[in-house]
Chains A and B, each alone.
Chain A
Amino acid sequence: MERKKTKSRREFINSSMRFGMVLALGGIGGLALRSSTKDQWVWQIDPFKCSWCGRCATNCVLNPSAVKCVHAYELCGYCDLCGGYLIPGHSDRSTAAENQLCPTAAIERKFIEEPYYEYKINEDLCIGCAKCAEGCSAFGNGSLYLQIMHHLCVNCNECAIARACPSDAIKRVKGSEPYLMKGDFTADGGET
């Protein structure tokens, strides 16, 4: 009579170990595959939450900051008396330095036709201080606002300006949609 083959305890432990290692390797491989194919997450400013505190200019690990002002041309009124360009109480609506609100003269003003002017941000000069964004939001229509520029941002694991932001305006967004542009979505999160 053939005796039924039984596993010894040693054989059972060995086979269990082999099975466990195969399972672990498979898991690690799966995780690696998943992280290589999933969306990368990046930091971005929600312009509807931004309170223009100035910390984007001072707290970013980069100097000058990776945060820059952007301009929603489709929202802009192209006004001669722009609240984001002119200093409060300006003596004249001209490009003279004493009339400009921006501390680095990063906003360029160009005459279009009476009484319209186009405003462009010189990104190399902008330090992300939000002074123009605050003036535009208070007196104008908020077409100037801040965004983290991803060709500059080093995507720190813990973003220094997100940590310092008093209004919790900086959040992780998908790398495939790295900018929160006004006009693409509204204050309540809906798409326009």
Chain B
Amino acid sequence: MKRKWPVILIVLLSAAVIITVIVTEHTSTLPGRRPPNPFAYDVDEFRSVDPGMIRWKEARQVELDTHTPRAIAYTDGKIYLAADNELQMIGSDWSRMMRRILPGAPTCLAVAQDGRIIAGMGNHLVLLNSDGETIAESETLAGESNITSVAILGDNIYAADAPGRRVLVFNRELELIDEFRGDSGVSEIHGFIVPDAHFSLAVNPENELWITNPGIHALQNYTPSGRLRSYIQRTSFTLEGFSGCCNPVHFTFLPDGRFVTSEKGIIRIKVMRESGETESVVAPSELFAGGTRAPAVVVDNDGNVLALDFDRNMIRIFEPI
């Protein structure tokens, strides 16, 4: 009996060590075993979407052979992609038709019906022919300017300058001829409020100029001379509106004039009627899990939505169901 005590002691000590190791391992804060963040910023309840609202399906993903995608445009069966310091033209069969080095990093793109291309280059515009050769350059804008979106309407080119909170109007020779700041004179409708580098404009199939006012969650319709004509304003974390301080980030139009909007924060793409009601969801936020940037959107000739996913470096094609 006397000889067994050391053995029992060793067994008890070993058991104590094993239990200590297990408990320590269980309660450790090593990666993978950390407790959830008690201060988590939780918007999950707003991510869920009624499946009946999702009336689009993701048909295809096209990975890009670029490092940093920057902007996308679509005209007449061709995709125009600005990425890194270059411009690419991609055909409907996804073959590359043109690739040109640009004199800097493009920030936005627009293509006229005649094939001429306008590229925003931060503080100036560049006009290129359909082969991607530079035809003209605008003067460099004074002060802190960043052209984040560009559109063509009639003989004018409209460029959204986010830091300047203004829309610049250029002629076809890229001469600056006018600017406006969205002041309507009506007290409840403020001029452009642009908290970050997301300020977007587009022309709808009816040749109407629409501009975001992200600081008040609005899409605003302006005359070519810059007078506010009408607006849609929707604030909500749900699908019915826009959330945060900088949404919608990008938008475009379906062939019948409905809006396609892309949002950040809760990254999602949805379709809004011209009256402002949300009609359907193109891509719910679960399709952009882990992403941080709202995709740029264009619509092709068939009415499909093409989303430039900056986080995944790909173009994602969504077809109506």
Contacts and interface: CB of A to CB of B under 8 A. Distances in A.
Interface stretch (A138-146, A149-157, A178-186): A138-146
A139 B244 contact: yes
A68 interface: no
A135 B41 contact: yes
A52 interface: yes
Instruction: Determine which residue in A77, A101, A135 has the highest number of CB atoms from chain B within 10 A of its CB, and name it.
Output: A77
A54 B39 contact: yes
Contact of A101 (B41, B235, B265): B41
A131 B246 contact: no
Interface residues of A, number: 32
A89 B190 contact: no
Given A114-B190, A115-B215, A135-B41, A81 B237 contact: no
A43 B29 CA distance: 21
Contact of A83 (B29, B194, B245): B245
Contacts, number: 88
Contacts of B215: 77, 79-81, 115
Chain B: interface residue count, which band?
20 to 34
A59 B29 CA distance: 10
A140 B46 contact: no
A60 B318 CA distance: 47
Given A54-B39, A57-B39, A79-B195, A138 B45 contact: no
B33 to A, nearest CB: 12
Contact of A140 (B190, B193, B244): B244
B65 interface: no
B195 A141 contact: yes
Contact of A79 (B31, B193, B197): B193
Residue in A54, A114, A135 whose Cβ sees the most chain B Cβ within 10 Å: A54
B31 A77 contact: no
A164 B35 CA distance: 12
B196 interface: yes
Interface in B262-282: 264-265
Given A77-B196, A89-B237, A114-B190, A54 B40 contact: yes
A134 B196 contact: no
Contacts of A99: none
A140 B196 contact: yes
Given A115-B190, A115-B193, A140 B245 contact: yes
Interface in B25-45: 29, 31, 34, 37-43, 45
Contacts of A114: 187, 190
Nearest to A132: B41
B243 interface: yes
Q: Chain B CB within 10 Å — which of A83, A140, A166 has the most?
A: A83
B265 A83 contact: yes
A interface majority secondary structure: loop
Contacts of A45: none
B70 interface: no
B41 A52 contact: yes
Nearest to A136: B245
Contacts of A175: none
A27 interface: no
A32 B26 CA distance: 45
A53 interface: yes
A131 B39 contact: yes
A83 B292 CA distance: 15
Contacts of B216: 81, 115
B166 interface: no
B46 A139 contact: no
Contact of B38 (A58, A76, A89): A58
Contacts of A162: none
A86 to B, nearest CB: 9
A30 interface: no
B289 to A, nearest CB: 14
Nearest to A93: B235
A88 interface: yes
A52 B42 CA distance: 12
A12 to B, nearest CB: 56
Interface of B: 29, 31, 34, 37-43, 45-46, 187, 190, 193-197, 215-217, 235, 237, 243-247, 264-265, 292
Given A81-B217, A115-B190, A131-B40, 7 more contacts: A78-B195, A80-B215, A83-B244, A114-B190, A131-B41, A139-B244, A164-B34
13 contacts: A55-B34, A77-B215, A78-B195, A88-B237, A89-B237, A115-B216, A131-B39, A131-B41, A139-B243, A139-B245, A139-B247, A140-B244, A141-B246
Interface of A: 52-55, 57-59, 76-83, 88-89, 101, 103, 114-115, 129-131, 134-135, 138-141, 164, 166
